[in-house]
Amino acid sequence: MGILGESAMKKIAFIFPGQGAQYVGMGKELYDEFDSVKDIFHNANDILKQDIAELCFNGPEEELMKTENTQPAILLVSIAAMTALKEHGYTPHMVGGLSLGEYSALVAAQALSLEDAIPLVRKRGQYMQEAVPLGVGAMAAIIGLSTEKVEECCQLAEDRGIITPANYNCPGQIVVSGHKEAVEKACALAKEMGARRAVMLSVSAPFHSPLLEPAGTRLKEKLEKIQIKSPKLPVVANVHAKPEDDPARIKENLVCQVSSPVRWEESVRYMMSQGINIFIEVGPGKALNGFLRKISRDIKGYNVQDMASLEKTLQGLEDAI
């Protein structure tokens, strides 16, 4: 049973994961089960002139973890999972994605072609990696502290360098990003202020901080050569947690997104305000479902990344609708 129109009692959003969700083996079961997914991966292999399918399914992990490989790999597995859902008749009323996941959402809304998105996110990964020398920047997750207190920690640590909130994930979990010494000071301050944990993240660059502005400049040049159309359904943007349907502004948002905070909690709350009560995390991992549970108990969260999760989600949707 699919979601066929606005008359349906339940409204679905597809939400797409960002970098960090990758793992060796992702997408393999969907590839084996669906000819349409095989076509997606074979097409991507041709576009990238690389066996990205082999990398997703069998690694090696250190190659998959390289940002320029991770970003197209996650995008492909996300679109593969969406394709499997659509083959069972399910389409969303609204879409959104965390950081890289916004590109998957734009593909889902037919604003960006998959053929353009695959090489674009590879370049995005390269530009983000090259913007800051290794070891200069850092990111940390601060758990169990209010938004206001985390922002205060960042302000107090600015004497050590640039630092800013990078991901407003959910209540009690905010990621900060910037110069390594400033991030370390913010973590120490957060613990003093009562944070449950302040954990340095294993990342290769200070994503979503002003240090990434050079990457945004390079990405802008690439985006100017790519066609983005008006989305066929609302795509909630990371930078302001609202939909945008003007192609020029969508491009501007994607440039800003590289060095601006991801307003994920606000994005989910916006979708809820529009009547969305079922969220399906489409792609590798289940991190977004963890955030959903902390944002609201009044919504249902599912995920699709392999055959077991697809079957469980399909059963859940049948029962819910």
CB neighbours of residue 117 within 10 Å: 24
Nearest CA-CA partner of 300 in 267, 277, 272: 277
* Active site annotation includes 99: yes
- 1: buried, middle or exposed (CB in 10 Å: 19+, 13-18, 0-12)? exposed
Q: Which of 78, 99, 104, 267 is catalytic?
A: 99
- 11: buried, middle or exposed (CB in 10 Å: 19+, 13-18, 0-12)? middle
Helix, strand, coil fractions of the chain, as percent rounded to 5: 50, 15, 35
* Active site annotation includes 93: no
Residue pair 208/260 in contact by the 8 Å Cβ criterion: yes
CA quadruple 106, 110, 114, 115: dihedral positive or negative?
A: negative
The answer to whether the bond into 60 is cis (omega within 30° of 0) is: yes
- 133: buried, middle or exposed (CB in 10 Å: 19+, 13-18, 0-12)? exposed
What Rg do the C-alpha atoms of the chain give, in angstroms? 19
Determine the Cα–Cα distance for residues 49 and 133; give it in Å rounded to an integer: 27
Nearest CA-CA partner of 162 in 202, 210, 201: 210
Furthest-apart CA pair in the chain: how many Å?
A: 57
Q: Which of 93, 104, 204, 208 is catalytic?
A: 208
Q: Give the active site residues.
A: 99, 208
